[in-house]
């Protein structure tokens, strides 16, 4: 059966805001460039100019437009449910809901503006608009004090779509020697969605190592720079998220399924109880089981939970926050660059493509 995964609530976003700043390459040169460095940034740009390596710097300002597609698996570590102030967590919680799978996908456009503050340090701001979907599968199960299953509902699954907006800041440190380069990147973003009361914080850390290959002897600015990377992504400030939703949106027809399953279980137990060949100990066990089922059924039905607005609190964690990445930067000239990156792990997939435009702002009087 279909459920409108309120676990979409637990999944938002997602945006990959990582920057892939290009190379500050410390190539040896016999020439010495004289004159004043023309642009307002980076700081120490004049020192680089005096050393004859200003042509190795990127233009100081850039704007990027990227497309990002991501898939991620999640673990639900905490779940609480309340109706009109009445706590239902004893009957509906992480253990009894028995989540089988929680995963999400996102597709979004990521806009990033950056500046080289220092020759080796880039800072940036990002904004993203994404559409996503959450897939949830669960099999509600109730057990007695001995750990024996007294009631288990059929497996439920659902796909729910959502929209989100995210914004953040980040920085990249870059080192280069000859045509080799390495970078370390960190960014933090927050996401807004109508499904959650609180914003969701997201941290990305990454490191990259690559090599630059020239593609033209006549044009040294035309090159491709493939790289390998390792990336860590995870939620931050993970105190959980809360919100409100109607139970009928979460579990369509769950009331009928729940009561049919409970009634069928009680009837099946009663047949065994009425069988003359059933032992007294087995009768006592099944009678206690039926009483437990009736108690659960009565409390849940009396609560009105199946048709009411409910408050929830949920906490989730990524199954595997680390991925291995590989990608490239293709610089066409000093103004235009194309980029792409793919990352994969057992529980994540990540794809990004984008276009970057760079420019300089000259000092006054130049």
State whether the Cα torsion 63-357-130-349 is positive or negative.
Answer: negative
pLDDT for 1:
36
Exposure b/e, 318-355, CB count within 10 A at least 16 = b:
beebebebebebebeeeeebebbbebebebbebbbebe
Query: What does the DSSP assignment read for 26-80?
Result: ----S----S---BS-STTHHHHHHTT-GGGSPPSEEEEEEEEEEEEEEEEEEEE
- The answer to whether residue 22 sits within a structural domain is yes
pLDDT for 9:
30
Residue by residue, what is the 3-state secondary structure of 84-145? CCEECCCCCCHHHHCEEEEEEEEEEEEEEEEEEEECCEEEEEEEEEEEEEEEEEECCEEECC
- The answer to whether residue 128 sits within a structural domain is yes
State whether the Cα torsion 316-319-324-330 is positive or negative.
Answer: negative
pLDDT for 56:
81
- The answer to whether residue 141 sits within a structural domain is yes
- The answer to whether residue 301 sits within a structural domain is no
| Rounded Cα distance, 201 and 197, in Å | 13
Give helix 254-274 / helix 280-302 axis angle, nearest 10°: 160
Find how far residue 187's CA is from the centre of its chain: 14
Domain count, the chain: 1
- Provide the domain limits for residue 161: 6-235+315-359
- The answer to whether residue 199 sits within a structural domain is yes
- The answer to whether residue 261 sits within a structural domain is no
Classified as helix, coil or strand, 232 is strand
pLDDT for 20:
33
Q: What is the pLDDT along the chain (366 residues), one digit of tens a residue?
A: 333 333 333 333 333 333 333 333 333 333 334 588 899 999 998 898 888 888 888 999 999 999 999 998 888 887 777 766 677 777 777 888 888 888 888 899 999 999 999 999 999 999 999 888 888 888 888 888 778 888 887 787 777 778 889 999 999 999 988 889 999 999 999 888 766 666 778 899 999 999 999 999 888 899 999 999 999 988 876 566 666 666 666 666 777 888 888 899 999 999 999 998 899 889 988 999 999 899 888 888 887 777 767 677 777 788 888 999 999 999 999 999 999 999 988 888 999 999 999 999 998 877
pLDDT for 128:
92
CATH of the domain at 89: 2.40.128
* pTM (two decimals): 0.71
- The answer to whether residue 353 sits within a structural domain is yes
- The answer to whether residue 298 sits within a structural domain is no
* Vertex 231: Cα angle to 225 and 237 (nearest 5): 145
Tokens of 259: 């009561």
């Amino acid at each position: 059966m279909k459920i409108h995964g309120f676990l979409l609530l637990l999944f938002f976003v997602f945006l990959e805001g990582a920057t892939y700043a290009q190379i500050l390459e410390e190539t040896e040169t016999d020439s010495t460039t004289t004159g004043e460095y023309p642009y307002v940034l980076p700081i120490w740009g004049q020192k680089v100019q005096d050393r004859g390596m200003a042509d190795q710097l990127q233009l100081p300002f850039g704007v990027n437009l990227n497309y990002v597609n991501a898939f991620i698996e999640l673990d639900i570590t905490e779940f609480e449910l309340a109706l009109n102030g009445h706590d239902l967590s004893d009957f509906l919680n992480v253990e009894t809901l028995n989540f089988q799978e929680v995963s999400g996908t996102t597709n979004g456009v990521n806009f990033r503006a950056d500046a080289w503050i220092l020759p080796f340090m880039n800072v940036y701001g990002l904004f993203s608009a994404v559409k996503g979907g959450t897939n949830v599968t669960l099999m509600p199960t109730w057990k007695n004090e001995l750990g024996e299953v007294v009631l288990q509902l059929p497996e439920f699954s659902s796909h729910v779509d959502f929209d989100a907006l995210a914004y953040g800041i980040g920085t990249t440190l870059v080192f280069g020697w000859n045509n080799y380069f390495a970078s370390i990147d960190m960014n933090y973003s927050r996401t807004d969605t109508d499904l959650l009361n609180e914003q969701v914080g997201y941290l990305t850390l990454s490191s990259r190592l690559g090599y630059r290959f020239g593609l033209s002897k006549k044009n040294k600015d035309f090159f491709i720079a493939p790289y390998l990377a390792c990336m860590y992504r995870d939620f931050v400030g993970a105190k959980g998220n809360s919100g409100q939703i109607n139970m009928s949106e979460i579990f369509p027809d769950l009331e009928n399924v729940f009561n049919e399953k409970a009634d069928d279980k009680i009837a099946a137990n009663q047949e065994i109880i009425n069988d003359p060949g059933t032992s007294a100990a087995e009768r006592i066990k099944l009678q206690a089981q039926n009483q437990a089922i009736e108690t659960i059924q009565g409390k849940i039905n009396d609560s009105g939970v199946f048709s009411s607005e409910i408050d929830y609190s949920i906490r989730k964690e990524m199954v595997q926050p680390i991925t291995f990445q590989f990608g490239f930067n293709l610089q066409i000239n000093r103004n235009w660059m194309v980029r792409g990156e793919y990352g994969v792990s057992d529980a994540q997939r990540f794809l990004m493509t984008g276009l970057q435009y760079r420019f300089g702002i000259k000092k006054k009087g130049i």
